Amino acid sequence: MERLSVLCNHFDNDDNNQYLLQSNDVVATSTTNSNNQQTASVNNLLQLSSKIQLDSNKIEKLTAILFDHPDKQLQEDRNRLVDKLKDPIFEWKPYVSFHELRELTQNRLVALSHDPVLKCSEIVTNYKKFSMFQSTLVYSDMSLAVKSSVHWGLFAGSVACLGTEKHEKYFNDIDTCKMNGCFALTELGHGSNVKGVETIAEYDPATQEFIIHTPSDTAQKIWIGNAATYGCFATVFANLVSNGQNYGLHPFLVQIRDTKTLEPLKGISTADNGPKIGLNGVDNGRIWFNKVRIPKDNLLNKFGDIDNAGVYSTPIKNPNVRFNSMLESLIGGRITVANMANSAAKMGLYIAISYAFTRRQFGPTNQKEELLIDYITHQRRLFPQLAEVYINQVGINYVINKFQNKTDKDARDVFLLACGFKAATTWNRSKTLQLCRECCGGQGMAASNKIGILRADTDVDLTYEGDNTVLMQAVSKALLQEFKSYFTGTKRITGMLSYTYSKGHIGIFLRNKNFFTKRLHTESHLLDPDVLLDAFIYREFKLLRLLIKTLRGKVKNEKMSGIQAWNSSLDLVLQLANAYVERVSIEKFLEEVQKASDDIKPVLLSLCVLYELTKIENDLGWFLSNKYFAPIKGQAIGNTINKVCNSLRDHAIPLVKAFDIPSQFLTAPIIGDWVAHYSNPKNF
């Protein structure tokens, strides 16, 4: 709390240098001893890392970290799923037609439901298993993974999380795909702004039914997965109206098709969204409701209910809090999207790095040409992405555990962590697959080599389950709310800032622009992950301070409304959210490194340092313009990145093997003997 008081003084008075420098001296002294203890190991980081041989035993340790040290049951569940995916129906088929792929994906979903590995009830009780299930399906086929995520994650998840005990009777039919489901929230006129959804569900007390109706063209449900052909039931979000009063969005279970004929029921019209740039195994569609009647009990009534007379009741009186609680109950889907995106990035890296160790190009006359992996440009493109996949996975695991064990107290924290990590991980997935495609040259274009198809199939994750730009705004808004809550003494909104407050760094960084590390560019200094972490902490809080001042100035001096000030500052808003996610990612990874055995710790630290240096280099303009680094240090950062990349060269194959991608999915020809493969004229 004392550090927060100092921080408050800084915001109120920028010229209070005497007190601020005194605070710096105290904190700097307390950190010097611990830094000295680490100097020897930091100086030798690259040397220690290069001496390590990542044998099968060490690879297993890395795999355990990536899978968050799974217990025996989770390992058995994954093995069972992998065995099920060996059935010929799941064989990789990149050349089937549009309609064949739709039918194949549906048949694969049904095949998964036979003696199911995952059950509807486990989405609530064993979320870690659900996330593992979905991230593994990515290796088999992205269309199947998304279709499964819609059916079990969104449809089943909404019934389980938003319904009550009386809705548990549907679980078995959902698990066995007798109730093929979809999730109807998005409308033509409203996607990210779900509060603007127009669909009506008006209660009729005479028949004790709800009447579901599409009141306008913009109210049609659109881009609904499973809705074009195969979905027979839907969780429909509509405005609950009773006795003339609108109580806002609520979820309703609605049958939309006959389960045998697949024909739409009376009052329901559907249409196909047609071919897409990817993910064509998923039948996205549109739905219109023309005064469709459903039983009163089809209201998923965890957060709001109606009695027979139409009197509304709810455990959460505040409509905004109630609405947020509904969405937060389904946040597991957003976390799963992040986990699935990281799996896609892993597959791309496995293929591209494997190819780089066998493909040669250019070199000395009359000698073997150089391997692609030995070009620093190749390492510079692939190894930072490899590091980020490791860092992101540990962060995702952290959020998964927070979600599985969440309480009412930290539900908002989980919601916002999920927003941040979903955006950061999917953006990285997009960049990673593009770089992997380029690093494989023309071979990256081949459908048989998977990267191109995976890139197209996963592109939707940037906007579904929340547009990334909108999600990052939610993160920054929460940071501002928590900051305000401390200084006004109001109730804490989230715990997003408390960890950093407790580290004791803020007194140093926000007050002293000339601290002793500013001009240091020695290798030991730039290879210290804790020293580099300080830069991320500084940036986050400096951006927070700048955003507060900017918003205040626009409202006070430029006479803008609050929303005008916010919209005109969105560049800063996104910078702050990104800074927050990167800082949390580093902290969580370093926590995991501290628990790791000494025989893999130097490699993990090298990955962390590479991630940190790359992120700093990417935002070097900010650090230089804010005088956190001197220009000479910026140059040294680039040189050090090259050295770290080179030190990871011999670890690259073991590091991707630690992803534990089942061998049945590693079918890309360029992973193996691609010369023999392409020597056969019949092969693609």
What residue numbers bound the domain in which 361 lies?
328-466
pLDDT digits (tens, 9 = 90+) for 107-144: 999 999 998 999 988 988 899 999 999 999 999 999 99
Give the C-alpha separation, 197 to 334, whole Å. 20
Q: Does residue 388 sit in the same domain as residue 423?
A: yes
Q: Does residue 302 sit in the same domain as residue 344?
A: no
Residue 4 has pLDDT above 90, yes or no: no
Query: What pLDDT does residue 411 have?
Result: 79
Domain boundary among 290, 318, 346: 318
Evaluate whether residue 404 is within a structural domain: yes
Query: What pLDDT does residue 35 have?
Result: 44
Q: Does residue 286 sit in the same domain as residue 336?
A: no
The mean per-residue pLDDT over the stretch 452-478 comes to 94
pLDDT band per the 50, 70, 90 thresholds, residue 338:
very high
Q: Does residue 386 sit in the same domain as residue 437?
A: yes
Query: DSSP assignment of 646-678, as one string?
Result: HHTGGGHHHHHHTT---GGG---GGGS-HHHHH
Return the ∠ at Cα 37 (arms to 34 and 43), rounded to 5°.
Answer: 120
Was 186 annotated as part of a binding site? yes
pLDDT band per the 50, 70, 90 thresholds, residue 620:
very high
Q: Does residue 287 sit in the same domain as residue 346?
A: no
Structure token digits, residue 51:
């001496």
pLDDT digits (tens, 9 = 90+) for 80-99: 999 999 999 999 999 999 99
Q: Does residue 336 sit in the same domain as residue 225?
A: no
Q: Of the ranges 10-14, 295-299, 347-351, which one carries the lowest mean pLDDT score?
A: 10-14
Q: Does residue 351 sit in the same domain as residue 434?
A: yes
Give the C-alpha separation, 549 to 67, whole Å. 42
Q: What does each C-alpha distance from 645 to 62, 109, 355, 375, 528 come to in angstroms?
A: 19, 41, 17, 10, 16
Q: Does residue 356 sit in the same domain as residue 456?
A: yes
Q: Look up the CATH number of the domain holding residue 227.
A: 2.40.110.10
Q: Does residue 314 sit in the same domain as residue 335?
A: no
Single out the residue of 15, 656, 140 nearest to residue 357, CA to CA: 656
The mean per-residue pLDDT over the stretch 484-495 comes to 57
Evaluate whether residue 638 is within a structural domain: no
Report CA 281 to chain centroid distance, whole Å: 22
Evaluate whether residue 234 is within a structural domain: yes
Report the chain's mean pLDDT, rounded to a whole number. Answer: 88
Q: What does each C-alpha distance from 567 to 150, 477, 553 come to in angstroms?
A: 32, 12, 14
φ, ψ of residue 603 to 5 degrees: the values are: -65, -45
Query: What pLDDT does residue 16 have?
Result: 37
Amino acid 482 reads E
pLDDT digits (tens, 9 = 90+) for 223-245: 999 999 999 999 999 999 999 99
pLDDT digits (tens, 9 = 90+) for 350-370: 999 999 999 999 988 888 999
Which residues participate in catalysis according to the annotation?
Answer: 465
Query: What pLDDT does residue 416 have?
Result: 86
Residue with tokens 């007194």: 507
Report yes or no: 331 and 153 within 8 Å, Cβ to Cβ.
no
User: Which residues are paired to 183 by β-bridges?
Assistant: 235
Give the C-alpha separation, 223 to 219, whole Å. 12
Q: Look up the CATH number of the domain holding residue 384.
A: 1.20.140.10
Give percent of the chain above pLDDT 70: 88
Rg of the Cα atoms in the chain: 27
Residue 342 has pLDDT above 90, yes or no: yes
The region, left, alpha or beta by phi > 0 then psi within -120 to 50, assigned to residue 226 is: left
The mean per-residue pLDDT over the stretch 163-171 comes to 95
Q: Does residue 312 sit in the same domain as residue 334?
A: no
Evaluate whether residue 545 is within a structural domain: no
Give the C-alpha separation, 414 to 412, whole Å. 5
Query: What pLDDT does residue 42 have?
Result: 56
Report yes or no: 536 and 391 within 8 Å, Cβ to Cβ.
no
Query: What pLDDT does residue 37 have?
Result: 42
Single out the residue of 356, 305, 300 nearest to residue 164, CA to CA: 300
Report yes or no: 628 and 538 within 8 Å, Cβ to Cβ.
yes
Which of 14-18, 366-370, 603-607 has the highest average model confidence (pLDDT)? 603-607
Domain boundary among 429, 448, 466: 466
DSSP for residue 514: T
* Number of independent structural domains in the chain: 2
* Inter-helix orientation angle 529-556/601-618, to 10°: 30
Give the C-alpha separation, 467 to 464, whole Å. 6
Give the C-alpha separation, 360 to 351, whole Å. 16
Give the C-alpha separation, 660 to 56, whole Å. 12
pLDDT digits (tens, 9 = 90+) for 397-443: 999 999 998 887 787 788 889 999 999 999 999 999 999 999 999 99
Evaluate whether residue 350 is within a structural domain: yes
Query: What pLDDT does residue 111 have?
Result: 96
Query: How many CB atoms are closer than 10 A to CB 461?
Result: 24
Give the C-alpha separation, 162 to 156, whole Å. 10
Evaluate whether residue 285 is within a structural domain: yes
Was 199 annotated as part of a binding site? no
pLDDT band per the 50, 70, 90 thresholds, residue 487:
low
Q: What does each C-alpha distance from 447 to 237, 429, 452, 665, 681 come to in angstroms?
A: 38, 18, 6, 14, 16
Residue 574 has pLDDT above 60, yes or no: yes
Structure token digits, residue 23:
């605070």
The mean per-residue pLDDT over the stretch 322-331 comes to 83
Give percent of the chain above pLDDT 90: 75
Domain boundary among 443, 466, 489: 466
Q: Does residue 298 sit in the same domain as residue 341?
A: no
Query: What pLDDT does residue 191 have?
Result: 86
Residue 322 has pLDDT above 50, yes or no: yes
Structure token digits, residue 50:
């290069």
Q: Does residue 394 sit in the same domain as residue 440?
A: yes
Evaluate whether residue 420 is within a structural domain: yes
Greater confidence (32 vs 638) lies with 638
pLDDT digits (tens, 9 = 90+) for 259-276: 999 999 999 999 999 999
DSSP for residue 309: T
pLDDT digits (tens, 9 = 90+) for 492-550: 545 555 545 444 445 444 444 444 455 555 667 899 999 899 999 999 999 999 999 99
Evaluate whether residue 612 is within a structural domain: no
Structure token digits, residue 330:
């389904």
